[in-house]
Amino acid sequence: MTTSTRPGLWLALCLGCGTPSTPAGPPPRGAAPPSAPAPPPSAAFPDATPDSTPPDRPPSSDSAQTDAPAATDAVPTTPSAEAPRMFRGRSEDDWLRELSTRPVVRLLGRFSSTAIVYHFALGDGVEMAFKPERPGQELFWRHEVVAYRFARAVGLRERVPPTVGRRLPPAVFGRWAERDGLRVTGRDRTVAGAASVWMPVLGRAELHTPEARRQWVPWLDPARPPPPEAHSERARQLSEVLFLDYLQSNHDRFNCCNIPVDERGDIVIRDNDAGWYLGPMRTLGHPSVIRRLPRSLYQGLQRVDSAVLRAEVERDPLARERLVEGGVWAEYDRRRGLALARINALIARYGAAQVMPWP
CATH number of the domain to which 117 belongs: 3.30.200
> Average pLDDT, stretch 119-148?
97
> Average pLDDT, stretch 144-169?
98
Is residue 214 predicted with pLDDT exceeding 60? yes
The mean pLDDT of the chain is 84
Q: Same domain for 209 and 169?
A: no
Task: Please say which residue of 197, 216, 245 terminates a domain.
Answer: 197
What pLDDT digit, counting tens, does each position of 275-286 carry?
999 999 999 999
Task: Please say which residue of 141, 168, 197 terminates a domain.
Answer: 197
Is residue 64 predicted with pLDDT exceeding 80? no
The answer to whether residue 19 sits within a structural domain is no
Q: Same domain for 235 and 332?
A: yes
Q: Same domain for 177 and 285?
A: no
Is residue 24 predicted with pLDDT exceeding 50? no
The answer to whether residue 80 sits within a structural domain is no
Q: Same domain for 277 and 183?
A: no
Q: Same domain for 249 and 113?
A: no
The answer to whether residue 56 sits within a structural domain is no
* Cβ neighbours, 10 Å, residue 214: 11
> Rounded to whole angstroms, what are the CA distances from 330 to 37, 141, 216, 306?
15, 21, 33, 7
Instruction: Give the count of domains, the chain.
Output: 2
Task: Please say which residue of 150, 178, 197 terminates a domain.
Answer: 197
User: What region, left, alpha or beta, does residue 168 occupy, with left being phi > 0 and alpha being psi -120 to 50 degrees?
Assistant: beta
Dihedral pair phi/psi, residue 218, rounded to 5°: -60, -25
Of 189, 151, 155, give the one whose Cα is nearest residue 171: 189
> What pLDDT is attached to residue 81?
56
**Rg of the chain over all Cα atoms, to the nearest angstrom:** 20
Is residue 263 predicted with pLDDT exceeding 50? yes
Give the residue numbers spanning the domain of 265. 202-355
> What pLDDT is attached to residue 338?
98
Helices (H) and strands (E) in the chain, counts: 10, 9
The answer to whether residue 168 sits within a structural domain is yes
83: pLDDT confidence band, cut at 50, 70 and 90?
confident
In this structure, are residues 284 and 249 in contact, taking their beta carbons and an 8 Å threshold?
yes
Is residue 57 predicted with pLDDT exceeding 70? no
The answer to whether residue 255 sits within a structural domain is yes
Of 284, 16, 300, 48, give the one whose Cα is nearest residue 159: 300
Is residue 11 predicted with pLDDT exceeding 60? no
> Average pLDDT, stretch 49-57?
42
82: pLDDT confidence band, cut at 50, 70 and 90?
confident
Q: Same domain for 226 and 351?
A: yes
> What pLDDT is attached to residue 126?
98
